[in-house]
Structure 1
């Protein structure tokens, strides 16, 4: 690859990386940016007048605990998937 092509691609990557940081500087969830689908879905359900027919057995005392539990759940899932792929890979190498 030519040096000029590499420089042009590098500049494009830098611009694509920095432009959202400049465009949304200082804006956050309060202004509606980076809200995610969970909040929009909850609002759409509330607009229909739906009332849940059960309540949670236990709610985490804080957002940090909720994030910890979510990260723990993701880690356990990653371990299970990694084990399954490793086992599958080991079995295929064993057959060879």
Structure 2
């Protein structure tokens, strides 16, 4: 097995372990920052009223999680697309510069002299 293949598999195992260890071995409720902030505000200011309400309230937590995952996927797609386009533009610019340098180098190269011409 090549070293790079082994390294890739070790990275995959590390990522899976980072995701699985907290779920398997840490007990307790996984809550978001929104819920904690709401509890804190309710305790300190019981008469607080929000400035606005959501435009769309999903019917269940699963749908809300799915919409959040969709939003994250779209954002990741946009960011990855940008990096791919930027990398491709750089590669094409390097190739064009190398081709121009090669073409310029061929025209500046002295032509071989044949001994019979002198």
Instruction: Answer whether TM exceeds 0.5 for this pair.
Output: yes
1:94 pairs with 2:95: no
Q: Shift of the alpha carbon at 1:35?
A: 3.2
User: Does residue 35 in structure 1 map to residue 31 in structure 2?
Assistant: yes
Question: TM-score normalized by structure 1?
Answer: 0.62
Residue 36 of structure 1: how far off its partner (Å): 4.0
Unaligned 5+ runs, structure 1: 1-16
TM-score (norm: length of structure 2): 0.52
Aligned residues: 73
Q: Which has the higher contact order (CA 8 A, sep 6+)?
A: 1
The RMSD of aligned alpha carbons is 2.6
Partner Cα separation in structure 2 for residue 41 and residue 87 of structure 1:
39
How do 1:3-82 residues align onto structure 2 when only pairs under 5 Å count? Answer: 21=25, 24=26, 27-29=27-29, 34-49=30-45, 50-82=48-80
Question: Between Structure 1 and Structure 2, whose CA radius of gyration is higher?
Answer: 2
Q: Provide, for residues 35-91 of structure 1, a one-character-per-residue CA deviation record: whole Å limited to 9, x for no partner.
A: 343322121122232211222222000011001100100010011000000001001
Structure 2 regions of 5+ residues with no counterpart?
1-20, 95-118
Residue 66 and residue 35 in structure 1: after superposition, are their counterparts in 2 closer, same or farther (change >3 A)?
A: closer
